[in-house]
A and B are shown apart, each in its own frame.
Chain A
């Protein structure tokens, strides 16, 4: 079945540590996105990518980094510069340059130890 796989489901970060969240899709979508969701709030865009080897900052990119070396993969690194990383992280993908909807993975819940 086609879909978006995020791993791990739960992740704990120590102070000063960088952690990387994985996102893989087999929907053949060009566009991929990372969102952050805090309790009781909507989704805020961290980074997005329209095509391999290209990505743009979203609304809250500070303290995060991404790469897009393969069409299927869009990993997100939460760096030590992100002082409040505890949140639910969602990866999505869609057909680029279209009105088609975004589809989401199951998410990664990140907490500080």
Chain B
């Protein structure tokens, strides 16, 4: 079992709709969770991070964390063609001073 798992996609989303991305992790002691967006051929850029159970909203993005079920999700509201990218989930374990474990990413395609 991989430490961080994501559906590879592609996830096809009509423009204006909500994109829902999921990420599960295996280490119950994980404490910090990050979502990065990566355009083709570019480096990852941070979108959001979340530490506590519940929802965290930032503009059109909402991160949701459920530690009991060991999953973190990212919602993208009012999806735009510019949201077409690969979204990487990253998890920091409690025993790790800074090291992140990355999922393989979910490709999102927003269709006009």
| Number of A-B residue pairs with CB-CB distance less than 8 Å in the complex they form | 55
Interface residues on chain B, size class: 20 to 34
With A50-B98, A94-B98 as contacts: A103 and B46 at CB distance below 8 Å:
yes
Verify if A84 is at the interface (C-beta below 8 Å from B). no
Select A99's contact among B31, B44, B45, B105, beta carbons within 8 Å: B31
Verify if B71 is at the interface (C-beta below 8 Å from A). no
Interface string of A74-92 (1 = CB under 8 A from B): 0000000000000000100
Please indicate the chain A residues that have their CB under 8 angstroms from the CB of B104 in the complex. Answer: 40-42
Please indicate the chain B residues that have their CB under 8 angstroms from the CB of A98 in the complex. Answer: 98
The CA-CA distance from A90 to B100 in the complex, in Å, is: 14
Q: Return the chain A residue nearest B2 by Cβ.
A: A42
Verify if B49 is at the interface (C-beta below 8 Å from A). yes
